[in-house]
Structure 1
């Protein structure tokens, strides 16, 4: 019969097996081809002249990210136009990979925080539903809790007004403290974002202080990276209401040169006593590569007096450079301004960097304070 001959024909059987094998191999080769094309796409974009400053460049970059995502690489799920523009300006494949990995990790942290908040909200709603089914006695017990909540809310608003009033007074009568915003070209994008985060902490700590400074952000260019990031973080309305003096002028144009003292870790001069008549300057800089002498060179170029905190004189320094974050600096300066005691001010230096105070440092501070008082008397 024809059917039996076809079933027993060895040539026909080999033909059918070969076709199946081809289809299987093509299916296996498709993901590998996608990965290979994603690897080479970055180099081809530039060779073909696709990478430019127009909209087609952004679309090509988004296509590249989509291809890498299909290839199983670590890339973010969503990207803003600014992030895509930054990616398109990177010239090497390794730099693009690192930037995409950074964005993906940051996106993962945000997603985890949102999931945690959602879990808390769900648990809170479930707890409210359970408490809603209780009897009248439970409702009476919830009365004082609601009252306490209202009192705390009123307290928070009152303290917020008090802090605002103190900061407003400091802008008229307070001692100036300058942050030099001329270092945007010396930092990478992530370093600048970290700097702005620390400046926001500075504003918060100063606002809650008993005797706040009048903060000045000098050399803050209107179209500069600092200003864009600050407005982005605060929001345009909140930035306009912020009790901080921001200007594109240099500090030497706003204050007498003899009153200015630039605080830098590279200065040979030690700040031993606090001078309320001086205007202290802090460089708004986060430098992960430790560009030694950058702020000192800036101060010398303007012929300004410099000083450093007495870290070596008071602390057994263990690890790391003697550069402190901006929020640590504002807490140290606020405490030193209020108490005049370095042993209290330097408590805000991270404990991981030092191993206790030097023996006799308290006596040294007492000696300096007495000598200073005698000189003024």
Structure 2
């Protein structure tokens, strides 16, 4: 009996104890599967990254070989006596490697050689001028000159030009350069265009009453913008006293005030209007695609005009498309003087043979080499009169000689 009671007490005590928590093996296997799936996903990403890095390394390994091949080709042509540059950069080698034909490579290397020779001659000229100026300075220090005038320093002139351009930006007449022709030009033509734009900005800066220059349609990081930053430099470009915008000219000025200057226009600009905004296409086109700027102006429904070249000049040869620096010099002179005779003096002399002279309503050229002395067009009565006159003059001369004898 005592044994049965002890067994029943042991059973009752076990019922009042806390239940044990057991972890099923299914939950541990599920977490393991989840970790394995995450590791597999990360492995795929890692594989893709490694493949992309391998491709980049292969492309980088190909570029030096192409550059070295191009460099060896330039060196071989240099030793053969061909006209190639002595020093060539990696960018120029990449551009050379992109060319497919031999003739294109020869032309590109010839262009680089000519450009390099210009730079060398310019550098030599600058060094010569510097040495001459240093010699003059030493001579002036040795022998001082007495003068009642103060020396006008170059920085003072630069400050004066800056103030004039600043006044032109605030009160001057706007002049717009249309920068929407980058797709119509090659790389060399783009470089020439930017060089002419820099020259135009310099001539406008030195003018008595400068224009307020607007570079309209200048897209950021475009062909024009990259070349301008390359020529000017970022610091100088930011301090330049012009208005450069990516908006078009029709968005900044009233349409009735805009006049597009193009050589293909049928309208002649007889008088310079100070209230108008003249537009010049920033384009250098060696193949001369006629009508591009005129079509652009007609598409925007703008008034067009051309310079009176035929009305004032006896044109000989060549197209009537002038450079950008010639155009701004003509417009500045016309704005200051109002005389086309003075303004068109900046047209190159090789293209025309002189100005016309307006005398008694008849247009005659100033040069006499175009006047032909054709006796077939002279009447017979005039010819006989001239003959009798010469005969009479000869008889008089013979009688004088006989009297002297």
1:371 corresponds to which residue?
none
2:102 corresponds to which residue?
93
Tell me the distance in 2 between the aligned counterparts of 1:118 and 1:311: 41
CA distances 1:75-126 after superposition (whole Å, capped 9, x unpaired): 212112322222122221100011111212222333344345556666777x
Deviation at 1:148, TM superposition (A): 10
Contact 1:196–1:229 (8 Å) recurs in 2: yes
Deviation at 1:312, TM superposition (A): 0.7
2:86 corresponds to which residue?
77
2:178 corresponds to which residue?
180
1:226 corresponds to which residue?
224
Q: How many residues align?
A: 304
Task: Confirm whether residue 60 of structure 1 aligns to residue 60 of structure 2.
Answer: no
Q: Determine which of 239, 242, 249 is the counterpart of 1:241.
A: 239
2:300 corresponds to which residue?
302
Q: Determine which of 265, 268, 280 is the counterpart of 2:266.
A: 268
After superposition, the Cα gap between the structure-2 partners of 1:150 and 1:67, relative to the gap in structure 1 and judged at 3 Å, is farther
RMSD: 2.9
Query: Is the partner of 1:151 in helix, strand or coil?
Result: coil
Q: Determine which of 314, 323, 326 is the counterpart of 1:325.
A: 323
Q: Determine which of 344, 357, 381 is the counterpart of 1:346.
A: 344
Tell me the distance in 2 between the aligned counterparts of 1:158 and 1:216: 26
CA distances 1:350-369 after superposition (whole Å, capped 9, x unpaired): 122112222218989xxxxx
Deviation at 1:152, TM superposition (A): 3.5
After superposition, the Cα gap between the structure-2 partners of 1:115 and 1:163, relative to the gap in structure 1 and judged at 3 Å, is closer
Query: Is the partner of 1:143 in helix, strand or coil?
Result: coil
After superposition, the Cα gap between the structure-2 partners of 1:359 and 1:99, relative to the gap in structure 1 and judged at 3 Å, is same
After superposition, the Cα gap between the structure-2 partners of 1:68 and 1:330, relative to the gap in structure 1 and judged at 3 Å, is same
Structure 2 gap ranges (5+): 1-58, 363-405
Query: Is the partner of 2:272 in helix, strand or coil?
Result: coil
After superposition, the Cα gap between the structure-2 partners of 1:278 and 1:121, relative to the gap in structure 1 and judged at 3 Å, is closer
Deviation at 1:249, TM superposition (A): 1.1
Query: Is the partner of 1:275 in helix, strand or coil?
Result: coil
Deviation at 1:257, TM superposition (A): 1.1
2:145 corresponds to which residue?
144
User: Normalized against structure 1, the TM-score is what?
Assistant: 0.73
Task: Confirm whether residue 102 of structure 1 aligns to residue 111 of structure 2.
Answer: yes
After superposition, the Cα gap between the structure-2 partners of 1:286 and 1:54, relative to the gap in structure 1 and judged at 3 Å, is same
Deviation at 1:67, TM superposition (A): 3.3
Contact 1:274–1:336 (8 Å) recurs in 2: yes
Query: Is the partner of 1:262 in helix, strand or coil?
Result: strand
Q: Which has the larger radius of gyration?
A: 2
Task: Confirm whether residue 316 of structure 1 aligns to residue 282 of structure 2.
Answer: no
2:386 corresponds to which residue?
none
Query: Is the partner of 1:360 in helix, strand or coil?
Result: strand
Deviation at 1:177, TM superposition (A): 0.2
1:44 corresponds to which residue?
none
Query: Is the partner of 1:306 in helix, strand or coil?
Result: strand
1:166 corresponds to which residue?
164
2:283 corresponds to which residue?
285
Tell me the distance in 2 between the aligned counterparts of 1:190 and 1:60: 24
Task: Confirm whether residue 208 of structure 1 aligns to residue 206 of structure 2.
Answer: yes
Tell me the distance in 1 between the aligned counterparts of 2:201 and 2:350: 25
Tell me the distance in 1 between the aligned counterparts of 2:286 and 2:122: 27
Contact 1:51–1:88 (8 Å) recurs in 2: no
Contact 1:314–1:357 (8 Å) recurs in 2: yes
Tell me the distance in 1 between the aligned counterparts of 2:127 and 2:288: 40
Contact 1:51–1:57 (8 Å) recurs in 2: no
Deviation at 1:69, TM superposition (A): 3.0
CA distances 1:17-40 after superposition (whole Å, capped 9, x unpaired): xxxxxxxxxxxxxxxxxxxxxxxx
Query: Is the partner of 2:159 in helix, strand or coil?
Result: helix
Structure 1 gap ranges (5+): 1-49, 133-137, 365-377
Tell me the distance in 2 between the aligned counterparts of 1:311 and 1:266: 12
Tell me the distance in 2 between the aligned counterparts of 1:228 and 1:149: 45
User: Normalized against structure 2, the TM-score is what?
Assistant: 0.68
